[in-house]
Amino acid sequence: MKRGKFIAGIFASIPLLSFAKRKATVRMRTGNPFKVNAGAARFGTHYKMKGVTLNTLDIKISGKDTDNDLAVFEQTGQTRDGGPPLHIHIDQDEWFFVTEGEYLFQCGDEKFYLKTGDTIFLPRNIPHAFVQLTEKARTLVSYMPAGKMEAFFAATDQWITPPSKAEIAKVFAEHGMQVVGGPLKADR
C-alpha cells in the first residue's frame, strides 16, 4: 500500500515540476518605464528610408528596451505609390497598424487593402511588400524580435544617392532580410 502511495505521489508531482521548470524560464524586465512624446523618437533620431521611399521612421520602443524581443516604430509615409521591394524577414514577424491614410499590402499570394484603423500581421519567412496609396500616411510597425531593424533604418538613412538594386539587396541581407522581388504596384 505504501508503494502505491509513493508512485501516486511521484505522478502527482510531475505537473508541479513542469510548472516550476517553466516558471524558471520567465524573464523579468528590469528597465525603467519611459515615455516618447508625439512627433519624437526614442533616442532623438528621425530615420529617412532613402533609396526605397522618403518615409520617416521614429523608434518608439527599441530592441535595447526589450532584450531585443520587440521594436516599435512610427512610420510617416511621404511617398505616394512608394514602398519597399518584395522581401522576407528570416527571423521576424512584422505587424502594422494604420493610423492615417491607405495602403495595399501583399503577403504571399494574398493582397490586403488597409485604411486608417486597420491592422495586418506578416509572419516571418513569407514574402511581403506594401505600397502607400494616399498622399500622406502613417503606421505603427513592430518587429518581433527586434533583430537588426534599427541598424537597417540607420543604414538606409545614410544613402546620399539612390542605391542600385544590388546595394538595396545587400543592405537588406546584412540586416536579416532577403529581397525576392520588386516593389508592389498600386492597383488603380
The pLDDT tens digits for 124-146 are 999 999 999 999 999 999 999 99
Report d(CA 179, CA 10) in Å as an integer.
54
Which residues are CB-neighbours of 176 under 8 A, at least 6 positions away? 89, 90, 91, 92, 147, 148
Write down the pLDDT at residue 6: 54
Report d(CA 63, CA 114) in Å as an integer.
27
Write down the pLDDT at residue 49: 82
Q: Name residue, grid cell 542605391.
A: 163
Q: Mind listing the pLDDT tens digit for each residue in 27-55?
A: 677 778 999 999 999 999 999 988 778 89
Predicted TM-score (pTM) of this structure? 0.82
Which residues are CB-neighbours of 163 under 8 A, at least 6 positions away? 51, 171
In the structure, what pLDDT confidence band is assigned to residue 1 with cuts at 50, 70 and 90?
low
Q: Is the dihedral of CA 28, 29, 32, 34 positive or negative?
A: negative
46-183: what CATH class?
mainly beta
Backbone angles phi, psi at 166, to 5 degrees: -65, -40
Q: Is the pLDDT of residue 97 over 90?
A: yes
Write down the pLDDT at residue 139: 98
Q: Which residue has better confidence, 166 or 1?
A: 166
Q: Mind listing the pLDDT tens digit for each residue in 49-74?
A: 887 788 999 999 999 999 999 999 99
The dihedral over CA atoms of 5, 10, 14, 15, expressed in degrees to the nearest 10, equals 20
Report d(CA 174, CA 50) in Å as an integer.
17
Q: Is the pLDDT of residue 3 over 90?
A: no
Share of the chain above pLDDT 70, in %: 85
Report d(CA 139, CA 132) in Å as an integer.
11
Share of the chain above pLDDT 90, in %: 76
Write down the pLDDT at residue 129: 97
In the structure, what pLDDT confidence band is assigned to residue 16 with cuts at 50, 70 and 90?
low
